[in-house]
Chain A
Amino acid sequence: MDFSYTILIPLIPLAVFLLLGINYKSIKPSVSGWIGSLGLFATLVLSYYTAYQYFFVVGKVGDIYQTFTEQWRWMSFTETLYIDMGVMIDQISVMMLVVVSTISFMVHLYSRGYMKGDPGYTKFFAFLSLFTFSMMGLVLAVNLFQIYIFWELVGVSSFLLIGYYYTKPSAVAAAKKAFIVTRFADLGFLIGILIIGYYGGSYDFATLNDLEGNVITNWASTSFMGLSVITWGLLLIFIGGAGKSAMFPLHIWLPDAMEGPTPVSALIHAATMVVAGVYLVARLFPLYYFVEDGYALNVVAWVGAFSALFAAIIALTQNDIKRVLAFSTMSQIGYMMLALGVSGYYGHDGLGYMASMFHLFTHAMFKGLLFLGAGSIIHAIHSNYLQDMGGLRKYMPITHITFLIAALSIAGFPGFAGFFSKDEILVAAYEHNKLIYVIGVVVAGLTAFYMFRLYFGIFWGKDTKYEHTPHESPVSMTFPLVFLAIMSAVAGYIHFSEYVTVDHQPFEAHLNYPLAAIAVGVGLLGIILAFIFYKKPSGLPEKVAASFGSLYQWAFDKFYFDELYLFVTKEIIFKRISAPFAWFDRHIVDGTMNLIGNSTVSGSEKIKKIQTGRVQDYAFAFIAGAVVLAMIFIYKWII
């Protein structure tokens, strides 16, 4: 089977981006929305066709899923050092194709309603296409360098879209923050790539992940500070992944990134780009698992578990609905990371890996839906804040129902998509590490609580008097909501373990009823608490918040991490390190150059009077010179 046509999957959005981006002044908004959506539709069809071909027709030979790569030499430095570009078709990349194209298409449809009348409408669609191109390229990458290039491209598109309302200072600051924090993390990624490339001898995923290959069999050959260099490389790569996936402590950009338009938050900061870190770890999973007995993988697990808990606690206290969703995203990505971290490799041991990918899939559906629902609400009442909402179920029935489905799904209510994926993550964690399992269960409860706090706060709660009566959003916005709601309800019934596994062989995964019962019980407890607290306006939340005292304030202020970062950058790096460097640069380096320049200027100022412009002065100088020369000659050779 020839999969080289999949190169079109990223290239179509690129073409759309160029078309819209170059002609963005001359294309009418109504047309550009259609062009963007149609381009994405073509990508969607190709992705689904690829998925069908791979999973049901040619992918499985015997009992093993094959990997197909098509690559072309891009930069050739020497015989052994070269960089290829290409497409890699295997289980996770095909799954990601489906996720990205589905969510991106839904967001395109949704944006046609949401962004209506915006002056930068065409530009917005151009950026969306650029993002889709980059994300598809990232997913299909065949080697570390290709993934790095597209990694930076998604960073740029994220920057452009967060800063889309560039007249708003907060949006500009958020865009810069997101870009700088992820760039900083990407420095680790780049160094990691170079280390792996240098000691592993290859950038290709196929070579690196080969179980009999040089890296996995030979990782112990060089060590540095008590760890294998390969482990260091993997840890550095994970820093890049953690930056993009907003893992603690590089999470600070994600909440601020909510300054972008809501469809962007749904596409980039919920469903696709932020899971790139998870995808990266999954891509290199054999390395993480086999090198140094999974040392790096343990780090992944603990960072994931801690981020999940940390973000869930902050999410309890926030009042901006998009920020709650942002912290929820961070928490759920932490879940995926911890699932990867507790995974084994062969057969049923690979449950964590499978569960992580499964959760990535279902999370994309329900979190995309939650953001789009939030966008629909914001569209209707022009506020992000929970205090301004309440009783909206009467005005927005479709948004209400779809939001409820998404909330039930993320809370792990039995039968919805989130229930299945979360259950498998918890089973994997339980089999591997009890402490991580307990954290997972606690986070499940917190998740249910804060989601239903949102749900009850928005759609029930107090009867807010609105200036304009809120109305349901247009069909272009409700259709994606309904579609994603259906996906959130039924995606869990896909037998993921038959499609996405770490050792490429399907296995049977069953529900673990006792563990599922515990998770569901905790989730229900969260929902019931939220019901008691927020169904009717009551003084309870304030009382409970007060009883937590300063802890509540800490969580409300996101544990002061923004302030900590500001302190470190401003007070320590800028004042103590950069300022002396700047002084040195301005006074010593520039001073030397200025001295040379100034002395040349003043010197020439003094001697320029020699040039009188009179022919006879020049002639005199010439003759005098000739006479002097003649005298020298006479003195030396004749006398």
Chain B
Amino acid sequence: MIQGISIYEILTLTSIIFFIGIYGFLTRKNLITMLLSIELILNASAINFVVINTYLYPDVLQGVFFSVFIVAIAAAETALAVAIVINLYKLITSVEVEDTETMKY
């Protein structure tokens, strides 16, 4: 619990981060920046877990643990995504999302 800051402010902040992430994901053309946006989304939800745990149920720790899991999974996912992006770059020498539209119809 942080003195002088209520849960509403923090939840507002995480919502802003979340939608920044979504906006970035939908509008960026570069795969790496799209990956960064996904990280933002994940972080927003991780913060939500911790905040709700701390403010509403101070005597348990599930939310905190859960955010640890999210961080771990996010790391794995990022490693995987970066690997894909590198391979894609080797293949088509580009990390632009428009160049990966061959899998349609």
Contact = CB atoms under 8 A, between A and B. Distances in A.
A620 B27 CA distance: 10
B25 A611 contact: no
- Contact count band on B: 10 to 19
Contact of B97 (A611, A614, A620): A614
B26 A620 contact: yes
B59 interface: no
Interface string A599-629: 0000000001001111110011001000000
A613 B22 contact: no
Contact of B26 (A608, A611, A613, A619): A619
B62 interface: no
Contacts of B101: 612-614
A623 B25 CA distance: 11
Contacts of A616: 25-27, 34, 97
A475 B102 CA distance: 81
A473 B102 CA distance: 79
Contacts of A619: 25-26
A585 B26 CA distance: 54
Nearest to A609: B105
B92 interface: no
A173 B72 CA distance: 81
B103 A613 contact: yes
B87 interface: no
A613 B97 contact: no
Interface in B90-105: 97-98, 100-105
A614 B98 contact: yes
A611 B98 contact: no
Contacts of B22: 623
A613 B102 contact: yes
Contacts of B102: 613
A615 B22 CA distance: 13
Given A614-B98, A615-B97, A615-B100, A608 B25 contact: no
Interface residues of A, number: 10
Contacts of B105: 608, 611, 613
B15 to A, nearest CB: 13
Contacts of A608: 105
B72 to A, nearest CB: 24
A300 B5 CA distance: 112
A606 to B, nearest CB: 12
Contacts of A613: 100-105
A614 B103 CA distance: 9
A614 B28 CA distance: 12
A297 to B, nearest CB: 75
A623 B24 CA distance: 13
Contacts of B100: 613, 615
Nearest to A614: B101
A599 to B, nearest CB: 19
A612 B97 contact: no
B33 to A, nearest CB: 12
A614 B102 CA distance: 9
Contacts of B97: 614-616
Contacts of A623: 22, 26
A620 B25 CA distance: 9
B57 to A, nearest CB: 22
A603 to B, nearest CB: 15
Contacts of B26: 616, 619-620, 623
Contacts of A614: 97-98, 101
Interface string B63-100: 00000000000000000000000000000000001101
Nearest to A612: B104
A620 B101 CA distance: 16
Nearest to B38: A619
A612 B103 CA distance: 8
A565 B98 CA distance: 73
Interface string B1-41: 00000000000000000000010011100000010000000
A615 B103 CA distance: 10
A50 B26 CA distance: 93
A608 B103 CA distance: 13
Contacts of B25: 616, 619
A608 B25 CA distance: 24
A613 B104 CA distance: 4
A618 to B, nearest CB: 11
Nearest to A615: B97
A619 B103 CA distance: 15
Interface of B: 22, 25-27, 34, 97-98, 100-105
15 contacts: A608-B105, A611-B104, A612-B104, A613-B100, A613-B101, A613-B102, A613-B104, A613-B105, A614-B97, A614-B98, A614-B101, A616-B25, A616-B34, A619-B26, A623-B22
Given A616-B26, A616-B97, 5 more contacts: A608-B105, A612-B101, A616-B25, A616-B27, A620-B26
The 5 closest A-B CB pairs, nearest first, are A613-B104, A613-B101, A613-B103, A611-B104, A616-B26
